[in-house]
Amino acid sequence: METNAFCISLAACLVLLLAAAAFLIFIVIGVRKGDRGDLSSPAGSRIDAITRRVTGVGIRRNEEGDS
């Protein structure tokens, strides 16, 4: 019984690790692709829009600093 719980928790950790790695790779690809673009222009693709949102680049804020 303890072995099953250990295997399940190990598998869950591996899945979470792979998901985090995939997310980071996704962001790195978007940042590298966005290096050649103008940040004041609208996002060209969904990946570009998500990358800008996650990295905080190109987000407009009002005077109080709220988004």
Residue carrying the six token digits 């928790």: 9
Owner of token pair 């693709």? 45
The pTM of the full predicted model, rounded to 2 decimals, is 0.49
Q: Write out pLDDT tens, residues 47-57.
A: 777 777 777 76
Per-residue pLDDT averaged across 27-51, rounded?
69
For residue 31, pLDDT over 80 is answered with no
pLDDT at 3: 81
* The pLDDT of residue 8 is above 80: yes
Q: Where are the domains of the chain?
A: 20-58
CB of 34 within 8 A of CB of 51?
A: yes
